[in-house]
Amino acid sequence: MSKQDVLVLGGLRAETLEGLKQQFTTHLVKDAKELSALLARIGNGIRGAARGTHIGVDRAMMEQLPKLEIVANFGVGYDGIDTKAAAERGIIVTNTPDVLTEEVADTTLGLLLMTVRDLPAGERYLRAGKWPSGDFPLSKGSMRDRKVGMIGLGRIGLAIARRLDAMGVPVSYHTRNPRKDVPYNYYPDLAAMAEAVDTLIIIVPGTAETKGMVNAKILKALGPTGIVINVGRGVVIDEPALVEALKSHTIQAAGLDVFPHEPQVSPELLALDNTVLLPHLGSGSVFTRNAMGQLMIDNLVSWFRDGKPLTPVVETPWPRKA
Ligand code: NAP
Ligand code: 8YV
């Protein structure tokens, strides 16, 4: 049987690219600037796309791919794909849930502890040879007296909450729908939760609804011992409001793995010493990135071999809605 032509959008690890090549005839686009010319040449023959990082899949691109049936996303978050346009065209979008959940929860706990206990500054202090001249200052923060409010309690949020349970840290949560299967306090109103806790952990998708939901009002409600951890998407925080709250010590600190204009990071955030900043590495181990790549490939294989996707996103359900 001849191999299907699959468009490969953006950065993917060599192992994942190799896995794709074994199954499909691949057409790799590393930079969005190359896209238009390539699509004009081969767009008519493409039925599947594998989406790596940093190249969006919008309505205009779909129009250049009239036979496109499936977009398999590398990552559980798929904010770079216009799922409304996909659904209208009957294009299935898949993502990579579950296989990264525990890794991202581990990273979140690491980032939380780094931020609360000021650990990166302690490491810098030692490496700068300052220890012999005196002990590193005690941290203002401790996990012993913290109350965490989760914004998002889905697959990853729950894995984070389980880790906090083990540490004896009380957990509350804000989502649109309360869960029946958890013992945590539910807050339908985010501002009310921010008043009741001192630590927010953001693990919601980046959508029109979540954009800017952590704003000046929420940060003020958190108070001067407040700590914000963002592992969801950069757009969920109103960044100028966060910078202002950190500068004025309206809150204590922030630990961020995601940013609104990645891989660019605001110079203002970089200049502050009450931030801990990571380059979007929540799922970034070889083990987990390989598992994500494999699930992306498996979705394409299952679609072209068996006529069904393995992990379609909610906006493009399978079987399709009548
Ligand atoms: P999930 O299982 O779908 O959970 C999403 C959670 O967000 C649910 O609890 C959902 O509850 C809540 N939510 C969605 N929209 C909301 C809104 N408007 N207001 C309040 N809550 C809302 O997804 P997941 O697998 O846990 O992944 C979550 C996100 O983490 C991904 O979409 C991605 O953006 C991010 N992520 C980041 C990294 C990283 O490397 N930093 C890695 C993986 C994932 P309701 O539906 O009840 O509102
Ligand atoms: C990935 C992520 O690194 O899965 C997600 O939503 O944010 C990360 O696991 C990213 O999607 C790959 O670009």
Residue ranges covered by each domain of the chain? 5-99+286-306, 101-277
The best mutation among 53, 76, 296 to test binding of ligand 1, ranked by most ligand atoms within 8 Å of the C-beta, falls on 76
Distance 172 CA to ligand 1 centre (A): 16
pLDDT value for 29: 93
User: What ligand has the least distance to the C-alpha of 232?
Assistant: 1
Cβ-proximal residues to 165 (8 Å cutoff; 6+ apart), any chain = 171
Domain 101-277 has CATH 3.30.2420.10: no
The number of residues in the chain equals 322
Which amino acids bring their CB within 6 angstroms of ligand 2?
53, 74-77, 100, 280, 282-283
Whether pTM > 0.95 for this model: the answer is yes
Fold of the CATH domain 5-99+286-306 = Rossmann fold (3.40.50)
Q: Check if 5-99+286-306 and 101-277 are the same fold.
A: yes
What integer pLDDT is reported at residue 308 of this predicted model? 97
SS3 string of 257-276?
CCCCCCCCCCHHHHHCCCEE
Q: Identify the nearest ligand to the CA of 55 by its number.
A: 2
Ligand 2 centroid from CA 316, angstroms: 19
Atom 10 of ligand 2, nearest CA residue: 75
Q: State residue 1's pLDDT score.
A: 63
Output the residue whose Cα is nearest ligand 1's atom 22.
175
Q: Which amino acid is at 15?
A: E
Could you tell which of 176, 215, 236 is best to mutate to test the pocket of ligand 1, judged by most ligand atoms within 8 Å of the CB? 176
Give the confidence band of 322 by pLDDT, cuts at 50, 70, 90. confident
- Asked if pLDDT for residue 71 goes beyond 80, the answer is yes
Catalytic residue ranges: 233, 262, 280
Return the structure tokens found at 273. 């010493």
Ligand 1 centre distance from Cα of residue 136 (Å): 37
Average pLDDT, integer, range 256-277: 97
Ligand 1 atom 1: the closest Cα is on which residue?
A: 154
How far is the centre of ligand 2, averaged over its atoms, from the C-alpha of 132 (Å)? 41
Question: Which residues, other chains included, contact 170 with Cβ-Cβ below 8 Å and sequence gap of 6+?
Answer: 147, 148
Ligand 1, atom 36, residue with closest C-alpha: 232
How much is the pLDDT for 31? 85
Residue nearest to atom 13 of ligand 2 (CA): 53
Report how far ligand 2's centroid is from the alpha carbon of 232 (Å): 9
Q: Distance between CA atoms of 190 and 173, rounded to whole angstroms?
A: 9
Ligand 2, residue 284: give the atom nearest the CA.
3
Pocket test for ligand 1, best of 204, 207, 230 (most atoms within 8 A of CB): 204
- CA atoms of 175 and 186, how far apart (whole Å): 8
User: What proportion of the chain, given as a percentage, has pLDDT over 90?
Assistant: 95
> pLDDT tens digits for 33-57?
889 899 999 999 999 999 998 899 9
Q: State the DSSP string of 13-62.
A: -HHHHHHHHHHSEEEEE-SGGGHHHHHHHHGGG--EEEE-BS--B-HHHH
pLDDT tens-digit readout, 220-247: 999 999 999 999 999 999 999 999 999 9
Q: What is the DSSP letter of 99?
A: T
**Residue 10: per-residue pLDDT:** 87
Can you give the pLDDT at residue 54?
81
Tell me the average pLDDT of the chain: 97
